A and B are shown apart, each in its own frame.
Chain A
Amino acid sequence: MSIAPSALPIGMRGIEKRFGSVPVLRDLNLDVEAGEFLTLLGPSGSGKTTLLMILAGFVRANAGSIRVGGDEIITTPPHKRNIGMVFQNYALFPHMNVFHNIAFPLKQRGVAAAETAERVEKALDLVKLQGLGERRVDQLSGGQRQRVALARAIVFEPRIVLMDEPLSALDKGLREHMQIELRALHRRLGMTTVYVTHDQREAITMSDRIAVMNGGRIEQLDKPESLYARPQTQFVASFIGESNFIPVECRNGSVWYEDRRIHTAAATPAAGQYLMVLRPEKLRLLATAEPTSGVNVLNATLSDIIYQGDSFVCYAVLRDGRQLTLRDYCRSDVLAKMPAPGQPVSFGLDAQDTILVAAD
């Protein structure tokens, strides 16, 4: 990954925002490295847009500090922040054609006509819209509008680019295509990017790091693979990937589920109540004869099997009534030992895949 020379780090400290008396952002701290692709991921209403609006300068925070490369910008008016933004509905100017939309930021900066034409041409090239400069905005498809919005946000080489769910209006195929293109574009230009989405798969596909937001706070900030492998809270574990939880207890330096000892690879946490995270694809069906040392075994009753062609999903119920889900590929050895619904099954979970999180 190349870092653009103009890319700058962002440091947010103690950001507070209330609408009336409702707190929307609470003591939020976040550092974005220069040239990084950072995603704010969270459910609807978690304050992602609000944070982006505060970064862009459209919403005034109640407290906090935002430093961009050392300069405090929290009171800088939006047009002086030099931050590019891609809006969720694109916000293209309907009374201008594609060329004038993209040339707009250059015009504001007094760039000469010849250079403007050249840079707009280059931006159009970059987003693969060569030759569409004269098109009216309403003659473009959703995907093309998306590209124009993107070109407009990067043509003036801003220090930072913000994107608020830019792909949510596109259909699935185009969305996945654009994810890869956006990622490639970021690799090429290396601008500091803050990206907002509520789609965990999109976040994992695109980001260098992900900040998981919940109720106006950042629950966890990590690389996608660490976030998936080592969630720190129940919220993160359930929001990223699928999970079932069972309650476990830590006492005397070991972990217990009911009267059974649980093996963990990580150090045993302090005494107290925890939840064990069970990812469907980390569980496997055990034949009764298999040795089980170092493997946590969960005995349950199979309630349903759903074939999905390449894979299958088993639903089982533990003795205490909790649901378990297991997903595996349809290999003949697995299918051979598949019990029928209603029969007892044993699910195995390796110690290094055993994750404990604090109960919310």
Chain B
Amino acid sequence: MGAQTAVMQENAGRAGPDLNTQALRTDARRESLRLLALLSPSLLLVFAIIIVPIGWLFWLSLFDEAGGFSAANYARFFEQASYIKTFVTTFKVAFIVTGACVLLGYPLAYMLSQLPRRAASICLIFVILPFWTSVLVRTYAWLVILQRKGLINSWLIDLGVISQPLSLANNLSGVVIGMTHILLPFLVLPLYASMKTIDTDCLRAGMNLGAGPVATFRQIFFPLSLPGLASGVVIVFVLCLGFFVTPALMGGGKVNMWAMRMEQTTSLYSNWGAGAALGVVLLVVTLALLGLFQWLLGARATGVWSSR
């Protein structure tokens, strides 16, 4: 009898303040461990193909040609004017190509978004079609079209529009034309997707409240398409910064971009440390740009831009 009472008292004491706190905490810990176990294959993969190579790249960039530990690879960017020039060229090309993609891509995406469903999906196939051909092939095709005795120049001369062939390839304009063609879908697709999500009732409401077609576009459609435009612009801009094939083939040696510099440094001069430093700088600049965009978009979402 006495023992029984003691057991009951003990049970009552545990049930009162405790209420399985310990068991629940253990259970929660066990659950997160299980989740971690499930995630581990993909985490391992990320580690093996992203973290390790980038870490290695960074490590390589810290050694000079003689194998000594130094910051010479980074100091070189500030000492040699040619690096700064390459850097400027890269950004110039990226800005021009992104601008050209916006000018061509926005009306295209707008048209696609306004077409009936069937027509839009057929037109979208034409936008995506070039993806199925290699960048190299397309770049050579542009070379054939744009060169001094290429299609465009011979047509224009035959038609009597010009007497001297235009220099369209082997310079900056060739690079811009080729890259714009290749990167356009990267702008159009996210932009189109975001335009499709704009509520037609919002546009109707705009007209209902007295805004004509132009005002409705300017004050409602365009602002609502900006997030899609921003993500397209970021993708195109970032891809431009690391672009290699087209500037190498269409630039005629006159347009030196960052990725070409990397290629020269590693395969021509076999200076892996310097090449790695170039890679690290490109990576850091790209990440900084992405961060900036993220911050701007975040600011927009919290309404800093919204009250105009």
Contact = CB atoms under 8 A, between A and B. Distances in A.
Interface of A: 56-58, 77-85, 87-89, 91-97, 99-100, 104-105, 108-109, 134, 136, 152-153, 156
A136 B306 contact: yes
Interface residues on B, range: 20 to 34
A91 B202 contact: yes
B204 A58 contact: yes
A108 B215 contact: yes
Counting chain B CB atoms within 10 Å of each CB, which of A88, A91, A156 scores highest? A91
B209 A152 contact: yes
Interface in B272-308: 303, 306-308
B208 A78 contact: yes
A56 B208 contact: yes
A111 to B, nearest CB: 11
Counting chain B CB atoms within 10 Å of each CB, the highest count among A85, A108, A153 belongs to A108
A89 B201 contact: yes
Contacts, number: 80
Contact of A95 (B201, B204, B209, B224): B224
A108 B211 contact: yes
Nearest to B308: A100
B186 to A, nearest CB: 25
Contacts of B210: 79-80, 82, 105, 108-109, 156
B303 to A, nearest CB: 5
A97 B199 CA distance: 17
B96 interface: no
Given A91-B199, A108-B215, A136-B306, A85 B224 contact: no
Which 9 residue pairs are nearest across A and B when measured between Cβ atoms? A108-B210, A105-B209, A91-B201, A91-B205, A78-B207, A79-B207, A95-B223, A85-B208, A87-B201
Given A89-B201, A93-B206, 9 more contacts: A78-B204, A79-B207, A79-B213, A79-B215, A79-B216, A91-B205, A95-B220, A105-B209, A156-B209
27 contacts: A56-B208, A77-B207, A78-B204, A79-B207, A79-B210, A79-B213, A79-B215, A84-B209, A85-B208, A87-B201, A88-B201, A89-B201, A91-B205, A94-B202, A94-B224, A95-B223, A95-B306, A96-B307, A97-B306, A97-B307, A99-B307, A100-B306, A100-B307, A108-B209, A108-B210, A108-B211, A109-B210
B212 interface: yes
A169 to B, nearest CB: 13
B220 A93 contact: yes
Interface of B: 199, 201-202, 204-213, 215-216, 219-220, 223-224, 303, 306-308
Contacts of B204: 56, 58, 78, 85, 87, 91
A341 B199 CA distance: 56
Contacts of A88: 201
B205 A85 contact: yes
A77 B207 CA distance: 9
A81 B215 CA distance: 16
Nearest to B307: A97
Contacts of B205: 85, 87, 91-93, 152
Contacts of B308: 100
Nearest to A162: B208
Contacts of A81: 208
B227 to A, nearest CB: 10
Nearest to B222: A95
Nearest to B223: A95
A296 to B, nearest CB: 51
Contacts of A108: 209-211, 215
